[in-house]
Structure 1
Amino acid sequence: MADENAQNSNQQATGPQFSVQRIYLKDASFEAPATPVIFTKQWKPEINLDLNTRTKNLGENHFEVVLTLTVTAKVEDETAFLIEVQQAGIFQIAGLAEAELNHTLGAFCPNILFPYARESVDSLATKGSFPALMLAPVNFEALYAQRMQQQAAQAQEGETQAH
């Protein structure tokens, strides 16, 4: 019985492994270049959200994933505020094929980080005396699939031009 349990735990150890080691705010900036005049205008902002992710292999099955959110709020063509947040996490990932690993780092990990980044954006906006934004959830699965399609199309285009 003990041998059977040891064998089962060995099989589990060699299978896919995923754990969050740490989630942290790597960088944050807030600019409100049009204050105080912007506070005299009716608050109907045009919000622009840019997303970016990057990954760094830290060795020993540890990866840093950084999700960058850049939020620009404009009122009547004036920038009310600009917020940039880099929310990061260290993830331990083992036992995945390269395609699965890329998918995990490109879609699953940013999905974990997004709520933390959204809260940081809201906190900075409210500290600047602006209303919280409550950014809508982001479908990182769809963004990852779109990026993979673009890379495949570029690879095909490169092959076509090479011939």
Structure 2
Amino acid sequence: MNEQLQPVFAIEKIYVKDLSVEIPNAPNIFLERDTPEINMQLGGKNQSIDEGLYEVLLTVTVTAKIKDKIMFLVEVQQAGIFRIRNLSDEEIDPVLGIGCPNILFPYLREVVSDIVTRAGFPPVILSPVNFEAVYHQKKAETNQN
């Protein structure tokens, strides 16, 4: 019975947890012809929801402005439930901080593009994110404190 347990990683569910679109200056904003300034803020977190089950959440806020007028504001929370077993805490941390966000990001990107288009604007395609670099930067900042 000296058998090593094999690591387990499975995607249980991928879903949109929250979604909102605001167009505070409609309908006049649709008459603007200037190119908007797009600002994106991305965050992530994870939590254990049961033994071996984790929820990973990516949150993005995309704001488009023309001069001082908000064209639109989109907020999306893309989530996933992942089954992860037979890994040490040191091994689980990068899976939750790098691997799972890499799986969720294409879904988040599609939701943002789709909802902006449905709101009547040209699609916004989010640039790829290097979650490995983000993970290591957060680790470095945590170790400094």
Q: TM-score range by the shorter chain?
A: over 0.9
The DSSP-based 3-state class of the residue aligned with 2:124 is coil
Q: Give the 4+ runs in structure 1 shifted more than 2 A.
A: none
Matched AA of 1:121 = V
Aligned Cα root-mean-square deviation (Å): 1.4
Q: 1:1-163, aligned counterparts within 5 Å?
A: 11=4, 14-154=5-145
Q: Kindly, what percent of the aligned residue pairs are identical? A: 47
Matched AA of 2:76 = V
Matched AA of 2:99 = F
TM-aligned CA deviation for residue 97 of structure 1: 1.7
TM-aligned CA deviation for residue 58 of structure 1: 1.3
Describe the shift of the 1:99–1:43 C-alpha distance in structure 2 as closer, same or farther (beyond 3 A).
farther
User: Could you say which residue in structure 2 is the equivalent of 1:4?
Assistant: none
Matched AA of 1:64 = E
Q: Residue deviations 1:34-74, cap 9 Å, x none?
A: 11121121241111111111212111200011111111111
* Structure (1 or 2) with the greater helix fraction: 1
* Structure (1 or 2) with the greater strand fraction: 2
Using the size of structure 1 for normalisation, the TM-score is: 0.84
Gapped regions of structure 1 (runs ≥ 5): 1-6, 155-163
Describe the shift of the 1:96–1:64 C-alpha distance in structure 2 as closer, same or farther (beyond 3 A).
same
User: Could you say which residue in structure 2 is the equivalent of 1:157?
Assistant: none
Gapped regions of structure 2 (runs ≥ 5): none
Using the size of structure 2 for normalisation, the TM-score is: 0.94
Matched AA of 2:84 = I
Describe the shift of the 1:127–1:43 C-alpha distance in structure 2 as closer, same or farther (beyond 3 A).
farther
The DSSP-based 3-state class of the residue aligned with 1:83 is strand
Distance 1:141 1:16 in 2: 21
